[in-house]
Structure 1
């Protein structure tokens, strides 16, 4: 299977997929500025047949599936962060930890400062009812302490920049990568059981409100895909030799996203706290993994994700994800009194402009700083303990990984 990779080893299709997921999250939060937009299945009181009903309770929900897109982000992170560990003996753990912390921490700090600037630019006193997303996400009494709380991903408060809640789980997964990698390798031959366990844990998480069980299994599913990536490619190669390959791939490409949003397809009258909704949400990481497999294996879809527009959005996706919510909220207050969609005509383009600038001024530099931090830590460790004690396996790549090394997917 001829899979396009970038010079740094990234699977290009996954960058495009991440870009599409970022666009969906922006659409999700844009509609959230409308108090009638249902936040969870069964929430709100939208009239059957109305525009908001069609957007929320039909397959059109795919365009605004925010929570589901975050689950896809987590699966992608589990894949790309675990893959170098699974592929290479002598993985430099000493370099990894400072590299990953800088890679996540610098953009978060920059995003919090930008969010603070938009918060103080205009008073955020919501005219919507208490409990709406806009009211809950506004910061009417800003202080400098809010910036510090936003920087604290483990125990802080991302009030001034809503998407930072997900970075907490990214950081926890990154710090616990050895555990996730070992667990994924342990179930390499029993991968069906591993995925089933992830589904059960996710169900327990959404059923009980446990954040760890709700989100960390998605990273594990991505890690399992990483250790099984060659098997995924072999599966795709076999599929692509079949006469009905396009029909089979289409069924998977259509079925996986629909499974991802399945709780919404139950309709507006379903109880959001029903056992069926919880069970379907538990399948979300599995559906996201199927989307990833399809993006890698089906050439027409892969070509779409490798197209220049989605590659461009993929390049700025992390920055766009970090900065768009404060800008949307700022725009809503700037155009207060106007129909709810008018602020979006200003806020969405502004979010893209800021994301492009943020990518080049902050995120790209964080790549270099993270590499420098990792190299410095590895060099200091080597100088202190001696090169041979850093890792005995560093010079001996795994035989099965020699050809694959060129195609290693780098961490986001």
Structure 2
């Protein structure tokens, strides 16, 4: 079985790190308006490098949107797990702790993004409607900072990845509902997963954001409730001779399902109903990767390797800071071949993420624990230890891992 590090499943930290790196490559490729899938409709001649990157299994290395679904499933698992594992979960401490844990890095990342946006005038030479043009801010003002801080109803123009943090925050606030729902379908988990697929399909089909993304968190919550069963399944399978064949089939099948719309080629754009069905299955594909990362020894050894473990450590910070840096680099090296800014921007984003992790994210952990403990103590002081114990439990038992570090 996969080992734990500090109460966390180490292989899942590595999976999160890999997903964060994929998101960076995804946005790096988006700076090229000819990259298939970019806003504005990039195209690639059959057999060209862009075609191979986009319409073959190589797409896994730039599958950014799909990696966000992996983030959401991981968040659902790691945030729900303490709720279903610990008696007396401290809800009084949880809400302020979770808010600080998410919002402190978000606030800091927006200020950092504002600095990069203001450093060079962002007047795009690409046609209107491309990702770079839509993500640039030619008329920057301080109001953009305030709007970016408003995750629930604001505008993340100066830091594009904040769109996903909106769903992280909504899930975090609605955690009691997700946990109760996951516990309710514990014995009928197949029906729960089927409902998640149906809702995701419905969300994609109607362009409803909540239905498109929140079911992925529920799938992660179901994994948290069924984690012991997942481990038993893995142990039994690992005792069989065909274990590697089955695990490889699960891993490759899940990976292929994640990028299935791309494997149909450019013509899949003419089949929106098929795309909606395939995207509806993506939370299950992400769950399959999570289960394989936990149970298949070669795979979790890969995710427990030092490079991916370190990527997992900085993954949330990297997710928050990389887009403003990539856009800044594009304008800094304006007039150069499209890949030249990436040779500067990607390493810079990693270096900034390392510093951001140390300066902001690690401190937010301590601040969130302190705020949670203070809230729990205040509640006990106001309502008495017996009532507070019934409503809250103990703060130490309720230590929640970072679901946003997926993204994080």
Tell me if TM exceeds 0.5: yes
Picking from 401, 405, 411, the partner of 2:402 is: 411
**Are the counterparts in 2 of residues 11 and 409 from structure 1 also a CA contact under 8 Å?**
no
In structure 2, relative to structure 1, the CA distance for the partners of 1:305 and 1:313 (3 Å cut) is: same
**Are the counterparts in 1 of residues 75 and 220 from structure 2 also a CA contact under 8 Å?**
yes
Determine the structure 1 residue equivalent to 2:228: 230
Determine the structure 1 residue equivalent to 2:4: 5
**Are the counterparts in 2 of residues 320 and 352 from structure 1 also a CA contact under 8 Å?**
yes
Distance 2:157 2:270 in 1: 25
Deviates more, 1:261-270 or 1:374-383: 261-270
User: Residue 370 of structure 1: CA displacement?
Assistant: 0.3
Distance 1:146 1:42 in 2: 24
Partner SS state of residue 151, structure 2: coil
User: Residue 143 of structure 1: CA displacement?
Assistant: 0.4
Distance 1:198 1:270 in 2: 24
Determine the structure 1 residue equivalent to 2:190: 192
Determine the structure 2 residue equivalent to 1:400: none
Distance 1:366 1:272 in 2: 46
Distance 2:388 2:177 in 1: 19
**Are the counterparts in 2 of residues 89 and 393 from structure 1 also a CA contact under 8 Å?**
no
**Are the counterparts in 2 of residues 42 and 272 from structure 1 also a CA contact under 8 Å?**
no
Picking from 265, 268, 285, the partner of 1:267 is: 265
**Are the counterparts in 1 of residues 20 and 315 from structure 2 also a CA contact under 8 Å?**
yes
Determine the structure 2 residue equivalent to 1:15: 13
Q: Deviations over 1:103-125 (max 9, x none)?
A: 00000000000000000000000
List alignment gaps of at least 5 residues for structure 2: 404-408
User: Residue 3 of structure 1: CA displacement?
Assistant: 2.4
Normalised to the residue count of structure 2, the TM-score between the two structures is 0.96
Distance 1:276 1:202 in 2: 13
Distance 1:168 1:394 in 2: 26
Determine the structure 2 residue equivalent to 1:151: 149
User: Residue 269 of structure 1: CA displacement?
Assistant: 1.8
User: Residue 48 of structure 1: CA displacement?
Assistant: 1.1
Give matches, 1:48-63, under 5 Å.
48-63=46-61
Give matches, 1:246-265, under 5 Å.
246-265=244-263
User: Residue 411 of structure 1: CA displacement?
Assistant: 3.2
User: Residue 294 of structure 1: CA displacement?
Assistant: 0.1
Picking from 309, 312, 323, the partner of 1:311 is: 309
**Are the counterparts in 1 of residues 76 and 221 from structure 2 also a CA contact under 8 Å?**
yes
Give matches, 1:85-96, under 5 Å.
85-96=83-94
In structure 2, relative to structure 1, the CA distance for the partners of 1:111 and 1:272 (3 Å cut) is: farther
In structure 2, relative to structure 1, the CA distance for the partners of 1:163 and 1:90 (3 Å cut) is: same
List alignment gaps of at least 5 residues for structure 1: 397-404
Distance 1:193 1:320 in 2: 36
Normalised to the residue count of structure 1, the TM-score between the two structures is 0.95
Q: Indicate yes or no: 2:70 matched with 1:72.
A: yes
Distance 1:29 1:271 in 2: 21
Give matches, 1:171-182, under 5 Å.
171-182=169-180
Partner SS state of residue 268, structure 2: coil
User: Residue 6 of structure 1: CA displacement?
Assistant: 1.1
Distance 1:395 1:326 in 2: 41
Partner SS state of residue 267, structure 2: coil
How many positions carry a matched residue from both structures?
401
**Are the counterparts in 2 of residues 42 and 271 from structure 1 also a CA contact under 8 Å?**
no
